[in-house]
Amino acid sequence: MLKPSTKHLVHSATIVKVISLVLLSLFLLRLASLGMYPLFDTTEARYGEIARIMLETRNWVTPQFDYNVPFWGKPPFHTWLSAASFSLFGVSEFFARLPHLLVGMLTALVVFRFVALLVDTHKAVVSVFVLASTLGFILAIGMVMTDSSLLLAYTLAMTSFWLNYQGYRSKLHGHLFFTALALGMLVKGPVAVALVVIALIMWSVWKKQFVKAFCSLPWKTGFPLFWLLVVPWYAWAEIRTPGFLEYFIIGEHIQRFLVSGWAGDLYGSAHDRPRGSIWIYWILCAFPWSFFVIKSLLSKMTKGSFSSEHESQIKPYLVAWIFAPLVLFTFAGNILPIYVMPGFGAMAVFVTITNQLSKRLVLAGCLTLCILSITTVLLISGKVTLPTQQKLLVANGTSIQEGELYYWYKRPFSAQFYSQGKAKLLKNIKLLESKLDEQAPFFLVINTVQLNGVANILKNNCKVVEVVNKHILYQCN
């Protein structure tokens, strides 16, 4: 275990108290904000609606993109979280997001325990402070996405491996390692395992510990445990919806990342980003601590190798752990900024053990608190608007219940979520004319961009109810 030197101990009780206060403020503010703004398109509303459909249909095996349309893009773990929350507390933005925040806090506990074992509890508090005040972390854990759960799986795997490798309750941590890999498979799929493998290979080859690292794991019992936890859902999913494994393994994990603008995406358009963009995303999402990491690494490069024996053991491991996601996605074109998030746990540990406790650290964390506060106020006040159908549908919810609800040409996921699955898609002019001829009242929402070609048809049969964010709600017949 890494033992702290005197200069790395917390010297000021006042600073520790300030750190604890800022840390508490970050989590409480994020918790309080969860229900104060709507689910936004596309990601949050999509996963929120998938969870709502899972609860409504009681199909806990196959997530559904729409009713009777399987969603093969991700395993179901994050959907289980939101759907279970809906089942217990009701369907709302707050309870869609709450379990993902709790998963983020669980990751913080994993980091706390790891640093407490490496150094001491004071440093452990600092590490949680660094993690919580990482801009990408505190924003992402309050969103309905896969990334909070992936961070937990990756962090648990990497901390468990190191403790196993160091001989600290090896049997427990060796099996926790394989359990974390299984969790990653249920959260994100093979890419979660790839992240861990890349990090371990980078570190073990760098430090010439590959054979020792490989042999330290309890393969005879851990490997079967991994498959025991993973196979049931994957097999059941393939049986329920044949073709899932081919699309998910080949399409989502090979073509998605190697083919820019991948046309095989069943659930939206692929993101075509310049190769290497992931490094820029890391600097921004890991703010402000990305600059601390860069400074420390540049300092070590100028001074040579890590100074102490303990540093030479743990810091290369942390570096590999931080940058494995960036290495994996460097040559990928279809990426999102949040793909850098898995390494945040390692970054928190690295910043903690390479920096003395000072006002500079506190101020850096306070900067994130300020950004989070401003962002929350802007979202709640409506000064910053992101795409969502919440305002349009909730404000006219009573009226809409009197007839069918259609969206012309494109139906946002937030429309499905806030109409509780009532919103239907209408793309054919003949079908629209047929609906008008039926004389039955219905509602139609059209984006102003799509208005050309149908404006004359609607003029004599429909009246405008409300216009919100370029979407027009018509009442027809």
The 10s digit of each residue's pLDDT in 115-133 is 999 998 989 999 999 999 9
Question: How much is the pLDDT for 8?
Answer: 42
Rg (CA), the chain: 25
Contact 150, 192 (CB under 8 A): yes
Residue 272 and residue 406 share a domain: no
Residue 381: pLDDT band (50, 70, 90) is confident
Residue 9: predicted pLDDT: 46
Q: How far apart are CA 84 and CA 87, in angstroms?
A: 5
Give the pLDDT score at 331.
Answer: 86
Residue 40 lies in a domain: yes
Q: Provide the residue type at 59 as one letter.
A: N
Answer yes or no: do 209 and 69 share one domain: yes
User: What is the C-alpha to C-alpha distance for residues 384 and 380, in angstroms, rounded to an integer?
Assistant: 8
Q: State how far the Cα of 204 lies from the Cα of 362, in Å rounded to an integer.
A: 34
Does one domain contain both 306 and 412? no
Q: Which of 381, 405, 431 marks a domain boundary?
A: 381
Q: Each residue of 385-415: pLDDT tens digit?
A: 888 999 999 888 877 887 899 999 999 999 9
Between CA 385 and CA 383 the distance in angstroms is: 6
Q: What is the pLDDT of residues 282-339, one digit of tens each?
A: 999 999 999 999 999 998 887 765 555 555 689 999 999 999 999 999 988 778 999 9
Task: Answer yes or no: do 377 and 400 share one domain.
Answer: no
- Sheet containing 462-468: give its strands across: 424-426, 404-408, 442-447, 471-476, 462-468
Note whether residue 1 is domain-resident: no
Tell me which residue of 132, 117, 118, 105 sits closest to 20, measured CA to CA: 132
Q: How many domains does the chain have?
A: 2
Pair (343, 415) in one structural domain: no
Do 73 and 141 sit in the same domain of this protein?
yes
Looking up tokens 């491996």 gives: 161
- 242 lies in some domain: yes
If asked whether residues 263 and 178 sit together in one domain, one would say: yes
On whether the CB atoms of residues 51 and 83 are closer than 8 A, the answer is: yes
**Domain shared by 203 and 342, yes or no:** yes
Greater model confidence, 470 or 325: 325
pLDDT at 332: 80
d(CA 402, CA 398): 7
- What's the confidence (pLDDT) of residue 252? 82
Residue 7 pLDDT greater than 80, yes or no: no
Q: Residue 68 has which token pair?
A: 């009777």
Scanning the structure block, which residue is given the tokens 């075509």?
A: 272
**Do 359 and 396 belong to one domain?**
no
Model pLDDT for residues 161-179, shown as the tens digit of each residue: 999 999 999 899 999 999 9
Report the alpha-carbon distance of residue 139 to residue 195 in Å, rounded: 22
Evaluate whether residue 24 is within a structural domain: yes
Domain that holds residue 311: 6-381
Written in H, E and C, the secondary structure of 309-341 is HHHHHHHHHHHHHHHHHHHHHCCCCCCCHHHHH
| pLDDT at residue 10 tops 50 | no
Residue 349 sits in the same domain as residue 467: no
Please state, in angstroms and rounded to a whole number, the distance separating the CA atoms of residues 210 and 292. 29
How far does Cα 177 stand from its chain's mean position? 21
Cα 106 to the chain's mean position, in Å?
14
Q: Which residues are within 8 A (CB) of 344 and not within 5 positions of it... i.e. 6 or more apart?
A: 131, 134, 136, 137, 151, 286
Classify residue 404: in a domain, yes or no.
yes
Which of 381, 404, 426 is the C-terminal boundary of a domain?
Answer: 381
pLDDT > 70 in the chain, percent: 93
Choose one of 381, 416, 448: the last residue of a domain. Answer: 381
Helix (H) or strand (E) holding 465: strand 462-468
* 84 and 138 co-located in one domain: yes
388, amino acid identity: T
pTM, entire model:
0.92
Of 270 and 361, the structure prediction assigns the larger pLDDT to 361
Same domain, residue pair 258 and 149: yes
